[in-house]
Structure 1
């Protein structure tokens, strides 16, 4: 498999991994009451949203640091999730769809992969899985702790440990209240130290 295709599959798989559901444990120091903490009391989970922003992935390949900056478009509703991953120049690198019929991944070379769900698609694409909590909750400032119903995060000072990932809410949009920047970190045998930064620019 050419290295460029393998590179795209790796990056797409890392992003797909963030969609899988899992458990979370919360470790935090006492924090002052902030605008985001107050807003969490009234924040409601939205089943239908459209989000766009920037994503930057840092990882290792053959022992050397690699970087992939780009952007994303996320649409979520009762029928499923649709995601576009774009390069810095705005070129669509991958389209991801999930609904009740299964999951599909279309790369910009027009090749398409499909599976019964995102977990299986990730396994088939890369050959390994990274089960972590879903961005469907994270992007709205919610986390599911110990498999229970997702609850609103109250303060950006909190650090979340989610199946090996460290999740930090760095900053928030205040009106309405939703995450502005999310940082993720973990170590993997396949990609070394992986760091992902998500900046949400628009929420509908």
Structure 2
């Protein structure tokens, strides 16, 4: 792993402490009203595959922690995932789609792989479930098999368990319609992915 990736972990706590306030952890099974509201959200957002989010990302393998500023642009099946180092300002860019993935910004030039998950694991040791995260970040269940979903007192999803990952929705932006997640923590021991979203631009 390159040195600048190791250096990212030094400020991960500072970055995440500046994000949206964490709501109290409550997990309730959905009743008819709550499940109906979630079904409505999923219908509205089901075809949302053009968007840009800005925020901060922290990734841990149980030993090392790495974090940085994030810009994620989703354009249908294609994505551009840019992470900026907080101290040096150096960035790397993960791009790709159904035909494979490319990681640019590492020493030695671009690296390529069959998909984002394999490429990130092989080059920097990150376990980043990109295919599922595309849905989870919208507060939706992914097309990855059965999912157990629970809700907070605000009737918005508080926890989603799917494909071996536990996704906790720590905060939502309820000023948007529909409401959108603003703090998403995903964990599959020993791996952790923490995403704090500062802004959403849907349809862009």
Q: TM-score interval w.r.t. the shorter chain?
A: 0.5 to 0.7
Q: Please give the alpha-carbon distance, in whole angstroms, between the structure 1 residues aligned to 2:49 and 2:150.
A: 17
**Cα distance 1:6–1:48, how it changes in 2: closer, same or farther (>3 A)?**
closer
Map 1:144-155 to 2 at 5 A: 144=142, 147=145, 155=155
Equivalent residue number for residue 69 of structure 1: 67
Deviations 1:139-174 (A, max 9, x none): 1111126637x9x98644542223332111111112
**C-alpha contact 1:103 1:117 (8 A) present in aligned 2:** yes
Higher relative contact order (CA 8 A, sep 6+): 1
Q: Kindly tell me: are residues 130 and 78 of structure 1, through their superposed partners in 2, closer, same or farther at Cα, counting changes over 3 Å? A: closer
Aligned position for 2:183: 181
Greater helix content: 2
Q: Which residue of 1 aligns with 2:166?
A: 166
TM-score by length of 2: 0.66
Judging changes above 3 Å, is the alpha-carbon distance between structure 1 residues 48 and 159 closer, same or farther for their aligned structure 2 residues?
same
CA-CA distance at 1:44 after TM superposition? 1.9
Aligned to 2:193: 196
Residue 86 of structure 2 aligns to a residue whose secondary structure is coil
In the alignment of these two chains, the number of paired residues is: 175
CA-CA distance at 1:83 after TM superposition = 0.7
1:81 aligned residue: 79
The alignment's C-alpha RMSD in Å is: 3.9
- Aligned partners of 2:68 and 2:86: how far apart in 1? 5
Specify every segment of 5 or more residues in structure 2 that has no aligned partner in the other structure, as ranges: 8-26
Deviation track 1:18-57 (CA, whole Å, cap 9, x = no partner) reads xxxxxxxxxx533689999847624323111111111223
- Residues 59, 78 of structure 1: CA spacing in aligned structure 2 closer, same or farther, 3 A cutoff? closer
> What are the residue-to-residue correspondences of 1:1-204 with 2, within 5 Å?
4=3, 7=6, 29-30=28-29, 38=37, 41-42=40-41, 43-45=44-46, 46-61=48-63, 66-78=64-76, 80-89=78-87, 91-109=89-107, 111-122=109-120, 124-125=122-123, 134-144=132-142, 147=145, 155-156=155-156, 158-174=158-174, 175-176=176-177, 177-188=179-190, 194-204=191-201
- Give me the whole-angstrom Cα distance separating, in 1, the residues matched to 2:77 and 2:130: 22
Structure 1: give runs of 5+ residues left out of the alignment.
9-27, 189-193
Structure with more strand by fraction: 1
